Amino acid sequence: MAIAKQFLKSKPIAKVTFELPAEAVNGAKTVALAGEFNDWDVTTQVLKKQKDGSYKTTVELPVGGEYQYRYVLDGTTWTNDWAADKYVASGVAGEENSVVVL
């Protein structure tokens, strides 16, 4: 599981759980989620380490949009989500961003 989406019936919001598996973390000590929804700030959304070595966090996002994001390992290495809904060109050095579609 990389992205889990829980749609709320009471309002147009989805609780999106982002998870980076242990093998993708590659020994990093910190993992952050940076994306359009937090102005690409690598300090806003830090993922919590799970017992199995994966990292996880949950973000509330408006339904009906597409949101670009990437994980940041140890504050320096940017990486994509292996199970993103899709990928788009980031405009930076031929890199792509992960996208979650709600």
How many structural domains are present in the chain?
A: 1
The boundaries of the domain holding residue 35 are: 3-101
pTM: 0.93
7: CATH: 2.60.40.10
CA separation, residue 97 to residues 38, 52, 67 (Å): 14, 26, 10
Q: What is the pLDDT of residue 21?
A: 93
Q: Which residue has the tokens 């590659």?
A: 26
Looking at residues 56-61, what average pLDDT do you find? 97
C-alpha 31/C-alpha 78 separation (Å) is 10
pLDDT, the chain, mean: 94
Q: What is the pLDDT of residue 1?
A: 53
pLDDT in tens, 16-48: 999 999 999 989 999 999 999 999 999 999 999
